[in-house]
Amino acid sequence: MNWANRLTLSRLGLTILFVIALNSQWPFGRTLALILFIIAGITDFFDGEIARRYRFVTNFGKLMDPLVDKIMIAAAFISLVPLTAVPAWAATIVVARDFLITGLRLMASSKGQVLPAESLGKHKTSWQIVTVLFFLFLLAAQELRYADGQSTWWLRAWNEGGAALIWITVALTLYSGLGYAWRHRALIATDR
C-alpha cells in the first residue's frame, strides 16, 4: 500500500477519534475535535498531492479517497445535529446524497468502471468542510471561554452565519449530486 492510500486510511481513524471527542464530556473535547478535523483535512490534501506527484494513483485510491471524505463529512454533520448546529434535515440531505453517489460508484465498479470525483463535487465538499469548521470554531471558542452562548457576536454567527452556510452547502450538495447522477444515468438505465 502506497503512502497516499495510507493517508486516506489514517483519515478514517482520525474521523473516529473526531466523533468520540466531539461527543464526549472531556474538558476541551470540542477543541480537540476541531484539531482532529483540521488534521484529517490536511491528510486529504496531502494524499492527493502525493498520488499525483509520484504517480501513485490507484483504483483503490480513486474509490476510497472520496468514500472516506464522505464518511468524514457525514460523521461531522450527524455529530453536529444534537449540538443544534446543523438541522437534521440538512444532515439527512448531505448523508443521503453521499450514499446515493457511493452506490452509483459501486454499480460502476461492478461493471469494471471507476467514476472519479468531479470538480463540482470537490467544491461541494469544500463548502461542507467550511460549514463544519465554522461550527467547530464557534464551539471551541465557547469551550475556551472566548465567548459564551449569550455573546451577541457568537449568537449572530451561530444563527445567521451558520444558516447561510447550511443553505449554500445543501444547495451545492443537491445540485452536484443530481448532476453527477444525470451524467452517469446510463449506469442506472442499463442495470439489469
Q: What is the total count of domains within the chain?
A: 1
Residue 177 belongs to what domain range?
Answer: 3-189
d(C-alpha 8, C-alpha 14), whole Å = 10
pLDDT at 29: 96
d(C-alpha 103, C-alpha 109), whole Å = 10
pLDDT per residue as tens digits for the range 4-57 = 889 999 999 999 999 999 999 999 999 999 999 999 999 988 888 888 888 888
pLDDT at 192: 58
pLDDT reading at 137 higher than 80: yes
Q: Which residue is associated with the grid cell 452562548? A: 149
In single-letter form, the type of residue at position 192 comes to R
**Contact indicator for 2, 56 with CB cutoff of 8 Å:** yes
Secondary structure of residue 123 in the 3-state scheme: helix
d(C-alpha 176, C-alpha 170), whole Å = 10
Q: Who has greater pLDDT, 30 or 58?
A: 30
Average pLDDT over residues 66-95: 95
In single-letter form, the type of residue at position 170 comes to V
- Is residue 76 left, alpha or beta, with left meaning phi > 0 and alpha meaning psi from -120 to 50? alpha
pLDDT per residue as tens digits for the range 142-171 = 999 998 878 899 999 999 999 999 999 999
Give the phi and the psi of residue 91 in degrees, each rounded to 5.
-65, -40
- In CATH, what number is assigned to the domain containing residue 61? 1.20.120
Nearest to 85 by CA among 157, 37, 26, 28: 157
In single-letter form, the type of residue at position 185 comes to R
Cell numbers for 123 = 467544491
Q: Is the pTM of this model over 0.85?
A: yes
